[in-house]
Amino acid sequence: RRARLGFALIATATLAACQGPQSTFDPAGTEAARVLDLFWVMLAGATAIWLVVMGISVYATKAHPEAHSEKSGLRLILWGGVAFPVVVLTALLVFGLRMMPDFRAPADGPRIAVSGERFWWRVHYDTPDQPGVAKALSGEGVPSANEVWLPVGQRSEILLGSPDVIHSFWVPNIAGKTDTIPGRINRLVVEPTREGVYNGICAEFCGTAHAQMGFRVRVVSREAYAEKVAAEASPAAVLDHPGRAAFERNGCGACHQVRGTDSNGLVGPDLTHLAARQTLGAGILPVTPENIARFVAFTEHEKPGVQMPDFGMLPETELRDMAAWLGALR
């Protein structure tokens, strides 16, 4: 009985681990549901083959005088070794091919350009009055970073590119992974079916901070999505602040953009609405003034391999002001 209890506990723990914001076993999108179906069917097929092989192995270890003829051996090879695998593998192939999404299928939702860059995600939303202009790396559309909002129940088109090395855009709850490849634009159409916040990760090794190249996907109603894009399109709200002067004095604007100010760098993430995001540093820390100060002062420690230099030499008041200002940019 104790063994049965232990098994039940392990099974429960294993299944509980399958729920959550970063799991292929908890689909919140049509594509992810399809991937999960394929997984179960392949698991069933693999289990059937395993059972047959094990059955034959057990049979073979027993003495069967009648099975020693050459004819029955040949029959076993033909049925068990050729016919059975051909039937099972063909069935799985046909099933898998039928499940392949139609890559040319039109989208009825927004088009969003996402660029994988060492080690963060550049995002461009289309504006309603500029349909179809956002293109990876072109700087058109509404800039944002490290968070992708999507409307529920619509087929959104995500254009994926990269200026440096190959990354891979993967949100396990929403869809399978798609690489971002320098010099080309990959197209991923997703249809989220459930509102919520999901974790995305880079799924292709791209350098030191590969493991810290995360992002959030926030699936919301169509109305909330339209509001969000309008909010992202607007310039920064909190402009009169000593932190802004510190930000500008220290040259942060050479790499970062805060729309509505003179800071218009395009090297690093757009910070115009940093505080409206859930995370900082591409998914590694919650956005709070304390964490912003920590990230700016100990960049290389918080995210080894990041392109941004440490600003640990800044006077503490300056650091605090800057973090307070950035932390108020909603």
Site for ligand CUA, rule CB under 6 A: 116, 119, 167, 202, 204-206, 210, 213
At its nearest, how many Å lie between ligand CUA and the CB of residue 110? 24
Angle subtended by helix axes 316-326 and 289-297, to nearest 10 = 130
**Secondary structure (DSSP) of 53-90:** HHHHHHHHHS--GGGGSHHHHHHHIIIIIIIHHHHHHH
Which residues are bridge partners to 29 per DSSP?
A: 192
CB of 86 within 8 A of CB of 78? no
| Structure tokens belonging to residue 247 | 């930000």
Q: Which of 241, 242, 268, 249 is nearest to 257 (CA)?
A: 268
**Min dist. Cβ of residue 210 to ligand CUA (A):** 4
Minimum separation from the CB atom of position 20 to ligand CUA (A)? 21
Positive or negative, the Cα torsion across 311, 316, 318, 320?
positive
189 vs 282 by CB, closer to ligand CUA: 282
CB nearer to ligand CUA: pick between 154 and 279: 279
Rank residues 199 and 272 by Cβ distance to ligand CUA and give the closer one.
199
CB of 280 to ligand CUA, least distance (A): 17
- Per the CB < 8 A criterion, the answer to whether 246 and 293 are in contact is no
CB of 205 to ligand CUA, least distance (A): 6
Q: Tell me how far apart the alpha carbons of residues 249 and 5 are, in angstroms, rounded to a whole number.
A: 64
Nearer to ligand CUA, 168 or 272 (CB): 168
Closest approach of ligand CUA to the CB of residue 261, in Å: 29
Ramachandran angles phi, psi of 58, nearest 5°: -65, -45
Q: For residues 277 and 296, give the distance between their C-alpha atoms in angstroms, rounded to a whole number.
A: 17
Q: How far is the CB of 133 from ligand CUA (least distance, A)?
A: 26
| Structure tokens given for 39 | 């997984």
Nearer residue to ligand CUA within complex by CB, 284 or 322: 284
Buried b / exposed e over 230-263, threshold 16 CB at 10 Å, is eebbeebebeebebbebbeebebbebbbbbebeb
In the complex, what is the shortest distance from the CB of residue 116 to ligand CUA, in angstroms, rounded to a whole number? 5
